[in-house]
Structure 1
Amino acid sequence: MTTDRELHDHLIGQQGSRADLNTPVLILDVDALDRNIHRMAVLAADHRFALRPHAKTHKSVDIARRQIAAGAVGVCCAKIGEAEVLAAGGVTGILITSPVAAPAAIERLAKLAATAAGLMAVVDHPGVAERIDAALAGAGARLDVVIDIDPGIARTGVASAEAAVALAKVIAASPNLAYRGVQFYCGSQQHIESYADRRAAIVERTAYLQDIIAALSGAGFAPGIVTGSGTGTHRIDLELGIFTELQAGSYVFMDKQYLDCDLVDGGEPPFEVSLSVDARVVSANHSGLVTIDAGFKSLSTDGGVAVVQRGAPETAFFAFMGDEHAALIAPDIGTQLAPGDPVSLIVPHCDPTVNLYDNYHVVAGDMLVDIWPVGGRGCAR
């Protein structure tokens, strides 16, 4: 297979070279990306919050380095595979936000803890904490851990204050583990479109978190770190002031799911769209429909459908037509566009869309300026 580098290296630095890219292709507007990174860093600093953005969004050493250079204390990774990739790229201060429980994964975690500066991981079960401690002893390493708290979705995390305290006691008795605090990520609240409804949901969940913190503090385990939040709730969480650090991730890109949300209570969206998929028309034989070369293999399907950013009427309706194709439907679009014409799309959900590509094609305006690997692509274990 011809690689992105073989296809496109010769276009780097050429004015207008974005138009010559083979499609479908993942596009990253570096200027918009840097503005988004700067805005979130300033916002966190102004509220005296640490920022540890979630790299499951971008899976990129290059982007993580930019975030840390702007002031982030590190990054979050969903899986140990992502953490291994970023640590190998020199990224420090990594927090693995999903429990590591499989025996082989625990061995990898212990090995990584021996070499990765500032590594942390979540735990939500006493038995797993004990197994991690034993593996660390074998690797001659120590590991900082935070207790994952279930925010009510029954996915991961301890399910009660009593369970949190019991787990803290196990961690305290484990010579190779160091208790640092708690994680509380309200994932199901992030995409509530109404700001008022989203705020009410987070206020209720934050009261529950405060009860957990009070129980831990009363037992002698006051959390030094309270980590969580996301792009959808970052403003609310900054206002409530319970977290010590933010894990927001999608703000670097912005996708349709977050564009549909009122992030700032009626104000202008605080972040720009920096990520898109460029496609091309491949068939235009009907007046009200054209076919493009980006289907299920090019765009995530869990967040609705893509929307036109440029190259076609913004009102055109996107409809998947299979693995390789989609339709753009609008009156007379088949007479306005011809095979070969480029179209740029705002993605429905950025994280899984990024995972479909080997590389970002980084542009400044309409010029290709670099190609960055999606290093953590497929690192789901």
Structure 2
Amino acid sequence: MSDDLTLHGHLVGRQGSRVDLNTPVLVLDQGTLDRNIATMAALTAQRGTGLRPHAKTHKSVDIAKRQLAAGALGVCCAKIGEAEALADGGIRGILITSPVAAPRAIERLAALAKTASGLMATVDHPAVAERIDAALAEAGASLDVIIDIDPGIARTGVKSPDAAVELAQRIAALPRLTLRGVQYYCGSQQHIESYAERRAAIIERTDYLKSVIAALTDAGFALEIVTGSGTGTHRIDLDLGVFTELQAGSYVFMDKQYLDCDLTGDGSIPFETALGVDARVVSANHSGLVTIDAGFKSLSTDGGVAVVRRGAPETAFFAFMGDEHSALIAPDIGKQLAPGDPVTLTVPHCDPTVNLYDHYHVVDGDTLVAIWPVSARGRAR
């Protein structure tokens, strides 16, 4: 057997045991994680804004419990499968942020609504709202729903204020559904590196959100919840004061994509890097290049490339070399590192990287202190 618990269970609590982990391995610094959770909780509390962090980032019952303990209203999940996994682990206040439309998925949503405390789901089409209501009637359940608003990327969400009002009117006529508010997630603006450019883009998009809210209000709909935002725009959205709750997720880990962004406007970094992949040199036969044991199967590729955090020169250039391997390239690196030497990488994009692993290896410094399952790994439906 080569599963994580068999390989590494005996290392938990042993001083300095991180160095003995079989690599590649997903590593999470517990103290840094908890500080990041506390920092975002404090920021939102100071502004009187709720926090419903997105669990699609971590897919973890253990991390969600820490967020709830720090004051979060609940968590967000991208898919019904994620919501089922977290609800099974006792997580309450789940909002499913992607429309649930497939017939079998709607049946599962109705079943989950009977057992999951505080469950909510997004809708963006009257016909889907009707299907959900019918499934709820079959299951003997009811459900609070949020209208998803398209922020301009044509992915999901109603496309206009008039469409929002039409959907709200249809929901109001359905006995098993209760409209609670709206969702608005400006995903394409989250990674604009310049704070000034990101702020200008969000102000323009928030003006549109206000027009949709005004149309719904004029039509007689009181919106208790306005939910959205992300790690990249959390400060801007708090300043603008339109959201009643934020959905930021990646702040718990901080990947390279967000580290490349000015999140605050003054260049300071409000959150620390908690997540990494520990790898190991497997070949060092060239002076300017060493090969490590983490490739496409160990790191997401949609956010660029990983960067060295420790164990090798920070200036070393990372390059994928296939499914199982990557290279670290720097002058004389093959003379500085030898096969078996450990290196730690900051991941390009945390969400899809996490989904490649079964477990987090939770560390305190260089000691393995726990092994947590990635509870919703692969729950893409």
Range into which the TM-score falls when normalised by the shorter chain: over 0.9
Distance in structure 1 (CA, Å) of the matches to 2:266 and 2:354 = 29
Q: Name the structure 2 match of 1:79.
A: 79
SS at match of 1:153: coil
Q: Read off the aligned partner of 1:124 and give its amino acid letter.
A: D
Q: Name the structure 2 match of 1:198.
A: 198
Distance in structure 2 (CA, Å) of the matches to 1:372 and 1:12 = 11
Q: Name the structure 2 match of 1:309.
A: 309
Q: Name the structure 2 match of 1:170.
A: 170
1:223 Cα offset (Å): 1.2
Distance in structure 1 (CA, Å) of the matches to 2:89 and 2:306 = 32
Q: Name the structure 1 match of 2:247.
A: 247
| 2:68 maps to 1:62 | no
Q: Name the structure 2 match of 1:374.
A: 374
Q: Name the structure 2 match of 1:234.
A: 234
8 Å CA contact retained: 1:213, 1:222:
no
Q: Name the structure 1 match of 2:109.
A: 109
| Identity in percent | 79
Q: Give matches, 1:216-227, under 5 Å.
A: 216-227=216-227
Q: Deviations over 1:182-214 (max 9, x none)?
A: 000000000000000000000000000000000
Distance in structure 2 (CA, Å) of the matches to 1:46 and 1:133 = 38
Q: Name the structure 1 match of 2:300.
A: 300
Distance in structure 2 (CA, Å) of the matches to 1:339 and 1:276 = 20
TM-score (structure 1 length as normaliser): 1.00
Q: Name the structure 2 match of 1:49.
A: 49
Distance in structure 1 (CA, Å) of the matches to 2:273 and 2:335 = 29
Distance in structure 2 (CA, Å) of the matches to 1:112 and 1:62 = 20
Q: Read off the aligned partner of 1:7 and give its amino acid letter.
A: L
Q: Read off the aligned partner of 1:13 and give its amino acid letter.
A: G
Distance in structure 2 (CA, Å) of the matches to 1:141 and 1:329 = 58
Distance in structure 2 (CA, Å) of the matches to 1:128 and 1:233 = 30
Distance in structure 1 (CA, Å) of the matches to 2:220 and 2:51 = 26
Q: Name the structure 2 match of 1:355.
A: 355
Unmatched 5+ residue regions in structure 2? Answer: none
Distance in structure 2 (CA, Å) of the matches to 1:76 and 1:12 = 30
| 2:286 maps to 1:286 | yes
Q: Give matches, 1:260-275, under 5 Å.
A: 260-275=260-275
Q: Read off the aligned partner of 1:23 and give its amino acid letter.
A: T
Q: Read off the aligned partner of 1:303 and give its amino acid letter.
A: G
SS at match of 2:282: strand
Distance in structure 1 (CA, Å) of the matches to 2:3 and 2:348 = 26
Distance in structure 2 (CA, Å) of the matches to 1:220 and 1:290 = 65
Q: Name the structure 1 match of 2:30.
A: 30
| 2:150 maps to 1:150 | yes
Q: Could you say what the CA RMSD is over the residues aligned between the two structures, in angstroms?
A: 0.4
Distance in structure 2 (CA, Å) of the matches to 1:305 and 1:199 = 26
Distance in structure 2 (CA, Å) of the matches to 1:328 and 1:291 = 6
Q: Name the structure 2 match of 1:276.
A: 276
1:2 Cα offset (Å): 1.5
SS at match of 1:114: helix
8 Å CA contact retained: 1:119, 1:144:
yes
Distance in structure 1 (CA, Å) of the matches to 2:254 and 2:46 = 22
Distance in structure 1 (CA, Å) of the matches to 2:43 and 2:86 = 25
1:166 Cα offset (Å): 0.3
Q: Read off the aligned partner of 1:337 and give its amino acid letter.
A: L
Distance in structure 2 (CA, Å) of the matches to 1:220 and 1:108 = 32
8 Å CA contact retained: 1:106, 1:135:
yes
Aligned length: 381
List structure 1 runs of 4+ shifted beyond 4 angstroms.
none
Unmatched 5+ residue regions in structure 1? Answer: none
SS at match of 2:179: strand
Distance in structure 2 (CA, Å) of the matches to 1:108 and 1:278 = 37
SS at match of 2:115: coil
TM-score (structure 2 length as normaliser): 1.00
Q: Read off the aligned partner of 2:167 and give its amino acid letter.
A: L
Q: Name the structure 2 match of 1:130.
A: 130
1:222 Cα offset (Å): 2.6
Q: Deviations over 1:146-189 (max 9, x none)?
A: 00000000000000000000000010000000000000000000
